[in-house]
Amino acid sequence: MSGRQPSGVRSIPVRAASGLVVCSGRLLQQSCFIRKLKGTKMKLQTRFLLSFLILVCAILVCPSDAQQSGRYIVTIQAPTEQAAEAVMRAGGSVIHVYDNIPAIAIQVPAQALAGLQRNPLIVDIEPDSIVSTMAKPPKQPPTPPAQTLPWGINRIDAEWAHAKDYLGQGAKVAVVDTGIDLTHPDLGVAGGINIINPAKSYADDNGHGTHVAGIIAARDNAIGVIGVAPAASLYAVKVLNRSGMGWTSDIMAGVDWCITEGMDVVNMSLGGGSYIQEFQNLCDAAAAAEVQIVAAAGNESGAVSYPAAYANVIGVSATDSSDAFASFSNFGIGVDIAAPGVSIYSTYKGGGYATLSGTSMAAPHVAGTLALSLNIFTTADDIELPAIQQGDGLVDAGEAATGIEDYGDDLP
């Protein structure tokens, strides 16, 4: 997990979309006002004149591209309250206040940025960016009548760790994702939070987070599948919407919550955001708190995505059932270890099961192994891939937990 420098990943522009929301909101309010006027006995000419004036105002008030709001991550050196007041005076709002780093996430009109940058309370302002899940579309077979051992769990010898009673007891593993199916019969969720809307449930409305959770800790029972660490405690940290998309600032808020709540392992099967210094600082804070962060390397067959590319984050590439490097997997600086990620069968939303492929599926094999043992690098299997593809090798849960080097079935 060596330090990585920014690779020049471009921030995704968000101002246009934000401005559309603002403009649409104003037009909606004005439209409602017109409807109220229709219920009066005003003369037709007066209604026409007022409607015309409101339309002109809407055109004038609707912000240009330079005036539209955007989301930003702000490093502060003043008390949070003072910095928040400065943002609100500039016409913005505070989205998140981070507990473990001196930063806040804000939404503010673009024309106010220059003034905020000159404010002595503010150290730095970085654009927020959009991230997404790292998985291929699912295939959903019927719910199996009996429990099966997925090939990825078998390949990393997790079942041998289970035989020695290494099940992840006492480990708290957070799935920073789309949420988890809270009523799935093969999963137990100990707690969580909806970062997007704290007033709402952290239940999974996409399916991706539930799939990831099953790889980590599906129960050892008579149905479905079994995870790497079936006795670990799962926590759902919902940071992505039903489409599997979200903001970097929300992911940061999720990681911040994990540090504060004392998680042992954090899995982030997501990526695509830009380099943000405060996110790196947050990963450093997690490491200082002995929180292990695992992230998917990405599925673009190119450079490793953020957050996997940050220092103090374990970046995971994907392999198939023949130990070949997955064609879609990212590689290079930032790959620390490899894990199964092709055609992985696991739990899914609605109490079901599905087969997915992606580095999203590789990362939770590593997160589950960390719930068994922290000794994952020296015990990883050399599968004779270049280091830029496999890092230290293929994760070996059996050896990491028990210390036994070879169970006789390491070959695919």
- The 10s digit of each residue's pLDDT in 207-243 is 999 999 999 999 999 999 999 999 999 999 999 999 9
Residue 412 has pLDDT above 70, yes or no: no
SS3 (DSSP) at 157: coil
Q: DSSP for 345-406, please give it.
A: EEEEGGGEEEEE-SHHHHHHHHHHHHHH-S--STT-B--S--HHHHBT-B--HHHHHH----
In angstroms, the CA 103 to CA 83 distance is 10
pLDDT cut 90: percent of the chain above it: 70
State the DSSP code for 110.
G
The 10s digit of each residue's pLDDT in 73-89 is 999 987 888 888 989 99
Q: Higher model confidence: residue 63 or residue 135?
A: 135
Residue 214 has, within 13 A of its CA and on its CB side, a CA count of 35
Element (H, E) at 70: strand 69-76
Do residues 381 and 410 lie in contact, with contact meaning Cβ atoms separated by under 8 Å? yes
Instruction: State which fold the 69-129 domain adopts.
Output: Alpha-Beta Plaits (3.30.70)
- Closest by CA to 3, choosing from 332, 284, 389, 310, is 310
10 Å CB burial of residue 91 (0-12, 13-18, 19+) is middle
Q: Which residues pair with 294 in a beta bridge?
A: 267, 314
79 contacts 134 by C-beta, under 8 angstroms: no
Average confidence score pLDDT of the chain: 84
60 burial level (CB within 10 Å; 0-12, 13-18, 19+): exposed
What are the tokens at 257?
């919550």
Q: Which sequence positions are flagged as catalytic?
A: 177, 208, 360
**H/E stretch holding 113:** helix 113-118
Alpha-helical segments (H) within 14-92 = 15-38, 44-61, 80-89
Average of per-residue pLDDT across 40-61:
34
DSSP state at residue 119: -
Residue 257's pLDDT band (cuts 50, 70, 90): very high
Assign domain 132-402 to its CATH superfamily. Answer: Peptidase S8/S53 domain (3.40.50.200)
pTM of the predicted model, to two decimals? 0.79
Res 145: pLDDT: 60
The residue among 382, 320, 403 whose CA lies nearest residue 355 is 320
